[in-house]
Structure 1
């Protein structure tokens, strides 16, 4: 993301802010201590800060320490120095500490939910009931998975093969703003379970719950340097982290252009990368589908104001049921309440930032100018203003148009149709972008659903459901949607170096 210029506001010093009544330390977390000074210089000097604003109403929330190469290097050195001890820590002890982190998340779930909603605008009820419990679950799952990790020994001409997972080293994790703590925990938990140490760089738009998590890991008893947090902009803090020669793994969730830059930096040191990138997922509705279910799933794509990488933003409907489906869909959209995400009645909140809202609106404006029609929405909410964008559905869009091909990452869906019984055309439309993160299919015929889903290019396909994700399953994207898979043992494969030890049956020296 573009960095903000240094201004009088940026001269503020990061200390502790009160957000929704919760004290949040806004300094970096490096080697088990708080830091708001430029390190690696003869005379450490205070680092500048940037202001974090709430997307709900633009209120300034906190002055955040603005890290750069000095902080990035200090954090990697801390992770490097802590690595040998953490890697040698018995699996049972690492698992115990991860469970202690999960307990800490549970204990502070209300505070975490309140701070995250203020920071990124997601619904408070979702953060309370779903997101924060899932964060804790992520840590417990990988604690359990660590203790079950293993591969049966196997024989090669009388020789025994033994596969082991050796911790790889310091891992840099760069996480996005749309689900800050949950997406971070998907990476942090397996990395720590695997015996790797971590440097987390959260998004500059949503840094607050990462800082609270640092407190939780400290209270849980993680040794200094095992988990570190460096805040700041990508060009200033992220770039030196990904180029550091002591880093052994990089996991990034974000945009394709940023992933390319990270891959170039990582290539210099042959550092393996895991990328979860953009999506432009289809939702196919077949003529025999339960249209009530299809409409429910389609409206669900407005979750988090459309700021979900997995969102099925392209509705592909078999022609005979187009009008009936649209009627069900619009009936549900009219019942969505847009407003303050802290209100229980709210169904859709704000987008993250004025700059992002302008980007979303630019996509819609260009589509309308090119001939698309807004069946609902089509602009900012005139009553709420600010970062609130109306849930939008566009029709009369061409397959090769920008609005169909590019990720908008806002509450904007498109509707296209395909001829009755033409599975080839349905698949052609569904696969007709450079992305391949996910796909959703709503159908009544199990065999036809299986045929179509088997041809879809996607890392995850949901049939008659959406966003059901088990941590044991592989997660990632195809094509421009990503590189690699994480989840279950795939996470350990990434955060470890796999080793095969082959032992001969003979040749042992006799002693005694």
Structure 2
């Protein structure tokens, strides 16, 4: 076996970059470890600014040919990538579970099928993309979506391949070329995606994968004058740095930055449903940007809601994510575990009470936690923990519920549970959020816009909104006559 191949869960994975249709090794490496047991998985090529420049150059060289490729052919190749994902679904599931600790059953049944769906959806959307012509004083307006150029896509560690392809698929469908920079804590399935794309027939340089630390290759990518779009999912401080780096070239940005979303439970709600939805927020060990981590319950039903919640939460099984019976796996990295524990310790010292949890487990596991007696202005209520930690507060009416729900600097999502359709409409209209779920959670359709308000991000992707971002939208206005006036 090559020195640059590692075997993860029985699956060979190349640890080098993918640039211009070739594997490229770095002089230095970084160690990728599994959150399941802390064991080292691979030594990954550690990118440098020189390799970042090479990746952008490869994307720039491939852009004219890919942009000129007819939409039907681009769509065919994207569907071929989806077919490759389907064929390797088990490999991708095993590798990603080992690399980031999310449940194997979720990868098999939901996450990896969604990866394939991302490619098929945007292939279909590309072939359907059109805007009805309209007239202005008998002049015809014709709207088109023109490929913008090389795109830099910087993706997070909590759902590595699904969130990467949520960006890669529309960028490629739009006729752009891509430099994908996966998170250093979970880089392995991005490398497998490069193999799948090459096997599907994607031309060299259309998709490039650059591994490494953001602090070492990030600026080289986001400040590059040949980059035409940047899409980033991650933290607010990193987004501010990226925006400053992109500003000199006015490179358009799409930023999805997490949140501190509320779950509002009204007295007329189905409390069993509300408790189920609240416990669902522990999914992926709480490492979900959309998670409704602030539970707001109408005071008159708070005691009964809490009883039902604790009953359900007590049945959750935490352990090895490769076990089909496991409900909650490990947190991604010791540094993230320390961050989560720090939040909880400071909250307890500040007067919060742990109804359940409030402590570490063994290894990289943190006990599912519910904190009450928290102040609205406290750190635990205002800042994103990104772990299995929820808070519970009470309210006495719609106005107070909305005030508490909107009283953070974030605005990614919100969930409300009520038996009154008119209340659902009133409250939804007043919530500051990119997505509002009523009596449900995490129902995602790729036709819908996705993004956040306030510090939860800039812009929307999904459906035609993705093409609006990844393209230069052009309007061509044609006079009704006069073709031969100057002939």
Task: Tell me the TM-score normalized by structure 1.
Answer: 0.94
SS for the counterpart of 1:56 is coil
Whether the aligned pair in 2 keeps the contact of 1:125 and 1:342 (CA below 8 Å) is yes
Could you tell me how far apart the structure 2 residues matched to 1:238 and 1:286 are?
A: 45
1:78 pairs with one of 47, 58, 62: 58
Could you tell me how far apart the structure 1 residues matched to 2:245 and 2:360 are?
A: 38
2:469 pairs with one of 467, 489, 494: 494
Residue equivalent to 1:483: 458
Cα displacement (A) at 1:14: 6.6
1:148 pairs with one of 128, 151, 156: 128
Residue equivalent to 1:277: 257
Could you tell me how far apart the structure 1 residues matched to 2:359 and 2:367 are?
A: 6
SS for the counterpart of 2:259 is coil
Residue equivalent to 1:248: 228
Cα displacement (A) at 1:510: 7.4
Is structure 2 residue 336 aligned with structure 1 residue 356?
yes
Could you tell me how far apart the structure 2 residues matched to 1:160 and 1:414 are?
A: 56
1:469 pairs with one of 432, 444, 450: 444
Cα displacement (A) at 1:511: 11
SS for the counterpart of 2:476 is strand
1:408 pairs with one of 376, 381, 385: 385
Could you tell me how far apart the structure 2 residues matched to 1:411 and 1:323 are?
A: 21
Could you tell me how far apart the structure 1 residues matched to 2:251 and 2:424 are?
A: 40
Is structure 2 residue 96 aligned with structure 1 residue 116?
yes
Residue equivalent to 2:423: 448
Could you tell me how far apart the structure 2 residues matched to 1:278 and 1:148 are?
A: 31
Is structure 2 residue 140 aligned with structure 1 residue 160?
yes
Could you tell me how far apart the structure 2 residues matched to 1:14 and 1:35 are?
A: 13
SS for the counterpart of 1:257 is helix
Cα displacement (A) at 1:23: 0.2
1:399 pairs with one of 373, 376, 381: 376
Cα displacement (A) at 1:237: 1.3
Cα displacement (A) at 1:316: 0.1
| Mean CA deviation greater in 444-453 or 22-31 | 444-453
Could you tell me how far apart the structure 2 residues matched to 1:88 and 1:60 are?
A: 43
SS for the counterpart of 1:52 is strand
Is structure 2 residue 20 aligned with structure 1 residue 31?
yes
Could you tell me how far apart the structure 2 residues matched to 1:503 and 1:21 are?
A: 60
SS for the counterpart of 1:23 is strand
For structure 1, the 5+ residue unaligned runs are 1-12, 38-46
Could you tell me how far apart the structure 2 residues matched to 1:316 and 1:511 are?
A: 70
Which deviations, in whole Å up to 9, do the C-alpha atoms of 1:118-146 show, x marking residues without a partner?
00000000000000000000000000000
Could you tell me how far apart the structure 2 residues matched to 1:68 and 1:308 are?
A: 30
Could you tell me how far apart the structure 2 residues matched to 1:353 and 1:30 are?
A: 28
Could you tell me how far apart the structure 2 residues matched to 1:285 and 1:261 are?
A: 37
Could you tell me how far apart the structure 1 residues matched to 2:167 and 2:278 are?
A: 28
Which deviations, in whole Å up to 9, do the C-alpha atoms of 1:291-345 show, x marking residues without a partner?
0000000000000000000000000000010011001100011100000000011
Could you tell me how far apart the structure 1 residues matched to 2:187 and 2:444 are?
A: 25
SS for the counterpart of 2:416 is strand
Whether the aligned pair in 2 keeps the contact of 1:14 and 1:36 (CA below 8 Å) is no
Which deviations, in whole Å up to 9, do the C-alpha atoms of 1:237-273 show, x marking residues without a partner?
1221111110000000000000000000111101000
Whether the aligned pair in 2 keeps the contact of 1:14 and 1:64 (CA below 8 Å) is no
SS for the counterpart of 2:204 is coil
Cα displacement (A) at 1:479: 0.2
SS for the counterpart of 1:94 is helix
Residue equivalent to 1:129: 109
Cα displacement (A) at 1:445: 0.5
What number of residue pairs does the alignment pair up?
A: 486
Whether the aligned pair in 2 keeps the contact of 1:14 and 1:27 (CA below 8 Å) is no
Could you tell me how far apart the structure 1 residues matched to 2:458 and 2:407 are?
A: 19
Is structure 2 residue 401 aligned with structure 1 residue 426?
yes
SS for the counterpart of 2:443 is coil
SS for the counterpart of 2:249 is coil
Distance 1:511 1:270, change over 3 A: closer
Is structure 2 residue 294 aligned with structure 1 residue 314?
yes
Could you tell me how far apart the structure 2 residues matched to 1:462 and 1:373 are?
A: 28
Residue equivalent to 2:188: 208
Is structure 2 residue 264 aligned with structure 1 residue 289?
no
Could you tell me how far apart the structure 2 residues matched to 1:22 and 1:505 are?
A: 62
Distance 1:434 1:278, change over 3 A: same
Is structure 2 residue 170 aligned with structure 1 residue 190?
yes
Cα displacement (A) at 1:26: 0.6
Runs of at least 4 residues off by over 2 Å: none
Could you tell me how far apart the structure 2 residues matched to 1:116 and 1:482 are?
A: 26
For structure 2, the 5+ residue unaligned runs are none
Could you tell me how far apart the structure 1 residues matched to 2:303 and 2:248 are?
A: 54
Residue equivalent to 2:411: 436
Could you tell me how far apart the structure 1 residues matched to 2:60 and 2:338 are?
A: 41
Task: Tell me the TM-score normalized by structure 2.
Answer: 0.99
Which deviations, in whole Å up to 9, do the C-alpha atoms of 1:467-510 show, x marking residues without a partner?
00100000000000000000000000000000000011122117
Residue equivalent to 1:66: 46
Could you tell me how far apart the structure 2 residues matched to 1:254 and 1:393 are?
A: 25
Distance 1:417 1:278, change over 3 A: same
SS for the counterpart of 1:268 is helix
Could you tell me how far apart the structure 1 residues matched to 2:76 and 2:199 are?
A: 13
SS for the counterpart of 2:433 is coil
Residue equivalent to 1:179: 159
Is structure 2 residue 74 aligned with structure 1 residue 94?
yes
SS for the counterpart of 1:427 is helix
Could you tell me how far apart the structure 2 residues matched to 1:396 and 1:61 are?
A: 42
Which deviations, in whole Å up to 9, do the C-alpha atoms of 1:400-437 show, x marking residues without a partner?
00000000000000000001xx2110000000000000
